[in-house]
Structure 1
Amino acid sequence: MRIDIITVVPGLLEGPFSHSILKRAEDKGLAKVRIHNLRDYASGKQKQVDDYAFGGGAGMVMMVEPIAKCIQALQAERNYDEIIYMTPDGQPFNQPVANELSLKGNLIILCGHYKGVDERVRQKYITREISIGDFVLSGGELAAAVLTDAVIRLIPGVLNDETSALTDSFQDGLLAPPVYTRPADYNGMKVPDILLSGHNEKIANWRFEESVRRTKERRPDLLQGPVSEPGDEVK
């Protein structure tokens, strides 16, 4: 997979992709993330990428021309499955969307800034608009990093244990159950006996019941959809 991210603040994205799982994915040759400074595609000495909104009002708007030049330059090199715009009014980002995008080959992510991008960019180039939540950030860079992390970690071979991603929260419509590690007894706080029993079926049932309980307590809205039983294939 290759993900190209277009931004006016490339420095915001240097850290997330140079460490941990995302760095490992690149080292293994499983994914590439490339950051593109939109100002490199702007005209004039000032390399202007924004201007005042027609009709007045507060805030600046990202201009059509630099974005179009950048996208066209990338498209001349390869085909892209999606051109994604990170925006508060986009499709809510969730695990099923991450699963879907992880099956794609090449993605472009456009990070919004100021009051957003000229609507003509959205009409001509953008194939998908995504929001990571009902709140507003200073720009789309952090949202793009969230999306990229969630997608790349699903690529086979990125995680040391490929089954790990399949047991994350939301993969089966439930929150993940409690987890424990050694020691089995810490200052009187003990690991549930069932987890030490070695009985795989009983452990799976316990984890499922705990997932349902935790989801009812913390995110009852998730239980409105279908719930997979333990042992069901994750779809």
Structure 2
Amino acid sequence: CQDPGHSVDVNLPFSPEDDSGQIAARLARLYQDTLQEMLEVLDHDQLEAALRILEKADCTYVVTAYHNLSMAANFSDKLLSIGKRIQAATSVQTQDFLCCNARSRDAVVFISYSGTYHPLAELIDKAARQGAKLILITGSDDDRFDDRIHARLRLCGRESRLGRMAQFASDMEVHFLLDILYGSLLNRLQGTGQGDRMARGGQLIKSGVSDYKGTY
């Protein structure tokens, strides 16, 4: 079994010789290490800035690609459930349309683990020209977007783009950060009294908050 005190290689968390039990233990250790690191790098001032943007936004657009798309869709569903208008772009063409049509009261959330997603710079420029409020979630230390970004939420960024076996750690980082945003927005909604009514299953007239209680 994996030694609980031993850190796991973020790029190669297990070896061909490991059985399923060892793989489970190594991934559990990797997730623990990743979440601890995320807490250590989390900038609370930047998090608060991002939350203020999302709270006030008429509509939020999420721009990302590849394996982050599923997490963007999950985040969108969660925000829709509490009455926040949001759309995740599912194609490069849609990304361009959303950035070109964003307005000053809208928010655009860009997610790029490495910061090297090739359309990123152009899309940020387009959204910035529209006056939208921009949030960048990335593990990159590249500061070339800082004059257009209103909040930067940092990921650990330890995975190698080429040397990683899979996106185990980076997926966990993005998912955790998006859940922090959702959880914080939900908590603030509860502070308005709407959350109590949601918990009791009451219909929220004209609030946009869903009372759907389906199971999956």
- The higher radius of gyration belongs to 1
Higher strand share: 1
- Regarding TM over 0.5, the answer is no
TM-score between the two structures when normalised by the length of structure 1? 0.34
More helix, by proportion: 2
Higher relative contact order (CA 8 A, sep 6+): 2
Please give the TM-score of this superposition, normalised by the length of structure 2.
0.36
